[in-house]
Structures are given as C-alpha cells and as structure tokens.
Amino acid sequence: MEGVEAYGFSAAMSGAFLVSSLLFAAFNRRLREPYMDEVFHVPQAQAYCHGSFLQWDPMITTLPGLYLLSVGVVKPAAWLFGWTGPIVCSTGMLRFINLLFSAGNFYLLYLLLLKIHQKNKALSYIKIRQLCILISRRA
C-alpha cells in the first residue's frame, strides 16, 4: 500500500466504521427485540450458541457460516471477559458481531478493488508499451 493510498483507506475505513457504529447504537437502543429477518436468524444463532448444531429452522435459506463464525467469536470472548447468562448470545451481541464482520467486508472490498485496479494498471502499461513498439517500427 502506498502512503497516500493507505491514508485514504484508513480514513474511509474509520469513517465507515464510525457511521456503522452510530447506526448500530441507535438501532440497538430502540429495537431490543429481533426485527424483520432477525426473527428467524437470532433464534438460529442462539441455538448454535447453546451447542444445538443439529437444530435448523426450515424458513432459513442461507448457509450456517455466519452462525458458526458468531459462535467462534462470542464463545471465546465470553470466556475471556467472564460473561455469562443471556448477554452472551443476545440480539445486541449478535448485531455487534455483524458490525465487526461489516468492517471485515469493507477491507475485503478494498483488497478486491486494489487487485482489479492493479490489473488495469498492468494492462495500461502493456498497451502503452505495445503502442510505443508499433510507433517505433513505423518510424
């Protein structure tokens, strides 16, 4: 990552995370109960959190990856911080896990864009080089 590019990414990442955190706090403060499709996903994630990996809601059509990752983050954090009871797999905690994953998605998007634009830079360089060769042959 170049210097200016790194600063730009850091600023964008910080801004996006700040806005997401503010939205998370406002949303979570006003809506403590599951909302919209959370009605299906929160009980499923809570079942996984309690070790019921064979329980599945047939209304859910997505793969269980996010539930497994949530358990993989929440359980060690609960052990580390000494959390017990309903807070461990609460709706708010599961929303917070999504907030963390959104930051990860932002970074992955950045890496994809970087990869795409590097490919375009390389193609541009090759095209310019070919053009120079063609011009030099005609001269």
pLDDT in tens, 75-117: 888 889 888 888 888 998 999 998 998 888 888 888 888 788 7
- What's the chain's length in residues? 139
Q: How many domains does the chain have?
A: 1
Position 139 in a domain: no
Residue 8 lies in a domain: yes
Q: Is the pTM for the entire model greater than 0.75? A: no
Nearest residue to 101 via CA among 81, 74, 78: 74
Outline where 32-90 has alpha helix (H): 38-49, 65-81
What mean pLDDT comes out for the span 10-20? 87
Residue with tokens 């994809």: 112
- Residue 114 forms part of a structural domain: no
- The answer to whether residue 85 sits within a structural domain is yes
Q: Looking at residue 113, what is its pLDDT?
A: 82
Q: Establish if 78 belongs to a structural domain.
A: yes
- Asked if residue 135 belongs to a domain, the reply is no
What is the residue range of 94's domain? 3-109
Assigned domain for 119 exists = no
**127 found inside a domain:** no
Instruction: Tokens 């064979």: give the residue.
Output: 54
